[in-house]
Structure formats: structure tokens, C-alpha cells
Amino acid sequence: MQQEQLVIIVGAGPSGLAAAGCLTQKSIPCTILEREDCIASLWKKYSYDRLHLHLRKQYCELPHMSFPPSCPSYLPKKQFIQYLDDYVSHFKISPLYHRRVELAEYNEGTEKWSLKARNINGGSDGEAEEYIGRFLVVATGETADPFIPEVEGFGDFNGEMIHSTGFKSGKAFKEKNVKIFYKGVTKYGIARPEEGPFYMKVKYGKYPVIDVGTYNKIKSGELQVLPTVIESIRGNEVVFKNGKSYPFDSIVFCTGFKRSTHLWLKGDDYLLDDNGIPKRNFPNHWKGKNSLYCVGLSRRGFEGAKFDAENIANDISSFM
């Protein structure tokens, strides 16, 4: 099956929705391909229950639609998801779900993008589909695929091991000794980084995090910080590089995400690097060659995605 559309967006997270909203505002048709069964799957399926936005709501709005005045300054997960659902309804966005993009190539002859996708609704070997578009927008996000590092003895651990995307609440871990494995203590505001918050924001796209009780629990000894790297896992014992070992019932990997754009996006040596991050710095990062764009990859949160989406829609509109 082959379908043709003016603009093809890969990814129906907040960034992809922002791009679709801006295009719809300009009456530019688009198709969104989403591998999951819903919009914003990271929020709906893979985030913990008590999650709240870490920034005030005015910095988390998608283009052309504000939060209702009744919303609190820092929205809980449930209200933010409702906002996204309302956004989809308002702009009449209809993503094609269960579409796993396997290849995207630019055809120099037709000056259009050809995407090979698989409809995996019926399983991993679903029906092959082809989509043709003049413009291609990569909106797969910075958190596309969970990353778990390779650790010796990983398969021998006797307890439960999950990535943070599988963590919903602490109830399941009550009375258990849990190791939370993450990259860098500064990520959670546990220790003050050597570089200031504004420098880190510009250089790395990291926001300072306001502590919500973690520090007091560390002071009381209820939480322990083990500032070292895991060497190996032996049964239920986790061995660290300093030679010490501790028993754990469960391990939660808060080790971030990786991107797989390079596996399916072919012929692009200008816009994105092998890690799926724009090669050029903000604010010139969102536009590539051959009508290729990216949205939400500038490491500037929702404000960055909003900036990208508006610029992409304006640029595409200039060709109409």
C-alpha cells in the first residue's frame, strides 16, 4: 500500500503534535506515523504515577493553545495528558498508530521522501506500507528508546530489574532494598554541579531540578548514595568498582534514553548526528537539506519544540 501526503511527521509525542498543530493552523495537510498505540506514549504508558511538570505551565504549552486558567502552575501527569488529548481534538489530528518506520530515503528524481513502514498492529511482522511526502519532519524525541548499560552478570540477578519507564510507584518495592542506577548524581539535584545552572542549560539543555524530599531522606539515612560505578552483578549482590558489594532485591535503571533515527533515516549527513541529535546548534538546528526537518531535539524542552514547530510550519508555508 502506498500513500502520498505533503508532509510526513514521524512521532506523535508532544513535539510531533506541536508540528501538526502549526501545520494545521496554516491549512497544510500532514500525516503522523506513530509506532505506539496512542499519542504521547512516554506520558501515557511509561512515566511514574506522581509525575508533575518540572516547569511552570506557561513554559510547557504547545503552539496556538494555552492551558486552561484552572490548571495549577505545575501540572500533574493526568492534567497534562488531558491537555494533549484536547490539543489533538482541537486541531483534528489523527495519527496513524502502530506504524514502525524502517526506512526513509530522499528521491532526487521526484524530490520527495519515501518512507517504508510496517503496520505492527497484528504483530512485529505486520503489513509493509509506503508513504511518499515532499517534506519530512523527524519528531521521535530525545527519549525514543530506553537505554540500559551492559553490566557483567546482568542475566544472573535474582531480583527484579526494570528501566525507569517501567516504574509506576514505590508501592511494589515497599520493604525492599532497591538500587537506583543512574548516570551522574547531579541529574537529580543531589549534588551541586561544578558548572552553574545557566551554563548547563545552554551547553547541555539541562534544567535545574527542585528537590521534593530526596535530600532530607539522604540526610536521615533512609536513602543512601553510592557514588561509584557498577562493576558486575553476582546473584543478588551488586559489586562496585571500588570493590564494595551490597545485596539488593530490585534494580531500577534511571540511565536515560538513546535514539534510533540513524537506523532508518538514510542519506542525511547534515541535520542529525549518529546519536539522533542536531549537528548544528540552536537556533539553526531544525532545518536540514532536501526538505528535512526535526522538532523537539534541541534539548530545550517544550519551549524548544514550540520554537521548532512554528519555524517548520512557516518554512513549509513559504513553498506553498
**CATH number, domain with residue 15:** 3.50.50.60
In this structure, the answer to whether residues 212 and 236 fall within a common structural domain is yes
Task: Among 226, 254, 282, give the residue marking a domain's end.
Answer: 254
In this structure, the answer to whether residues 15 and 81 fall within a common structural domain is yes
Query: Of all residues in the chain, what percent carry a pLDDT higher than 90?
Result: 54
In this structure, the answer to whether residues 274 and 200 fall within a common structural domain is no
In this structure, the answer to whether residues 90 and 222 fall within a common structural domain is no
Domain region containing 185: 146-254
In this structure, the answer to whether residues 13 and 136 fall within a common structural domain is yes
Predicted pLDDT of residue 230: 81
Predicted pLDDT of residue 207: 52
In this structure, the answer to whether residues 189 and 108 fall within a common structural domain is no
Task: Among 213, 236, 254, give the residue marking a domain's end.
Answer: 254
Contacts of 216 (CB under 8 A, 6+ apart): none
For 221-260, the pLDDT digits (tens) are 877 777 667 888 888 888 888 888 888 888 888 888 889 8
Predicted pLDDT of residue 218: 76
Task: Among 223, 254, 285, give the residue marking a domain's end.
Answer: 254
In this structure, the answer to whether residues 182 and 64 fall within a common structural domain is no
In this structure, the answer to whether residues 9 and 129 fall within a common structural domain is yes
Cβ distance 136 to 264 under 8 Å? no
Residues of the chain scoring pLDDT < 50 = 184-194, 197-204
Predicted pLDDT of residue 309: 99
Predicted pLDDT of residue 45: 93
Predicted pLDDT of residue 318: 98
The whole-model pTM stands at 0.85
In this structure, the answer to whether residues 19 and 127 fall within a common structural domain is yes
Q: How many domains, the chain?
A: 2
Q: Please, which residues bridge with residue 294 across strands?
A: 138
Straight-line distance from the first to the last Cα atom of the chain, in angstroms, rounded to the nearest whole number:
27
112: left (phi over 0), alpha (psi -120 to 50) or beta: beta
Strand pairing category for 145-146 and 257-258: antiparallel
Predicted pLDDT of residue 145: 86
In this structure, the answer to whether residues 120 and 11 fall within a common structural domain is yes
Predicted pLDDT of residue 173: 72
Q: Give CA–CA dist 320/307, Å, rounded.
A: 21
In this structure, the answer to whether residues 202 and 64 fall within a common structural domain is no
In this structure, the answer to whether residues 168 and 291 fall within a common structural domain is no
Buried b (16+ CB within 10 A) or exposed e, 214-236: eeeeeeeeeeeeeeeebbebeeb
CA 280 to chain centre: 19
